[in-house]
Amino acid sequence: MGEKRTRKMMEEFEDLRLDIGRHQRIYSGLVRAVVLDWAGTAVDFGCIGPTDVFRKAFAAFDVAVDTEEIREFMGLKKIDHVRAMTRMVPVMARWRQVHGRNPDEQDVQAIYAKTETLMLECIADHAEPIPGMLDLVAALRARGVRIGSSTGYTRPMLDLLMAAAGQHGYKPDTAVCSTDVPAGRPYPWMCYANAIALEAYPLSAMIKIGDTVADIEEGLNAGMWTIGLTMSGNELGLTRARAESLDATELNTRLEVIADRFRKAGAHYTARGVWEVLPLIEVIDARLSRGERPI
């Protein structure tokens, strides 16, 4: 009886799936909106600002953390980022050496409070648009594409960053932060909030662009196309000057490793930075016109 019931349920599910497919509307228009990350994607080449802050925040409690440990969780809501770092075995060991015990939730809250203070003090210093960002914005606006944004920053952090970025000429149509929604990345809520604010539909007509695996997962979970940026952001983690000073072979090798990581996470496309994004949007336009979807 169990096998027969299971088989019947599977047959009913298949009939329902086919029925949904027959009645589903296929979008065949152009890209309607993009959702860009902030640090490492739109501003702050190399995602330098947040990295320095996390290092200083842990140092305030006499615990050293290295760049790789910080960057592993970049893109998450900031308190989730702190929480994830305190659960890393090497960080826990260093914390025990100093404090005689593993870090707990009270410690997470204390580190996060320090992180927020430091971030608010320096975030405006890392608001310069990444090369090509303003050109991309102009091209998108000319095509009628709306521009949204999402971030692991809190609302007070984002407000300061937006004001400073605005002085440099970068003003997206909307900006959603992790504290505006029930949960940050990889959950899709910030992308959904952007879609509502931008009045963009369907989700398959939108693209999530970011420089971390968390960005890609956020976009995929929202049902959007995704583009991962390899050179300007967190994964390479170098200032523009340092990145451009690398030997071409070494740079290409490192960027291909990052691109492969993004592709394994499900990214539809990768690019070095926003300066290479517009041709990919045109490719996605063509795929949409054929009725293709990101899922």
Task: Determine whether 37 is an active site residue.
Answer: yes
Cα dihedral 181, 206, 172, 53 sign: positive
Catalytic residue among 37, 107, 173, 215: 37
Q: At a CB cut-off of 8 Å and minimum separation 6, what does 39 contact?
A: 47, 49, 50, 126, 151, 153, 233, 234
Task: Please give the Cα distance from 39 to 170 (Å, whole number).
Answer: 13
Catalytic residue chosen out of the listed positions 77, 78, 114, 208: 78
- One-character DSSP codes across 176-201: EEGGGSS--TTSSHHHHHHHHHHT--
To the query of whether residue 56 is one of the catalytic residues in this protein, the response is no
Beta strand extents in the chain (DSSP E only): 33-36, 146-151, 176-177, 206-210, 225-229, 269-271
Is the four-CA dihedral 42, 47, 49, 50 of positive or negative sign? positive
Residue 85 one-letter amino acid: M
| Measured CA distances, 92 to 97, 105, 109, 116 (Å) | 9, 13, 16, 21
d(CA 291, CA 267): 19
- The set of catalytic residues is 37, 78
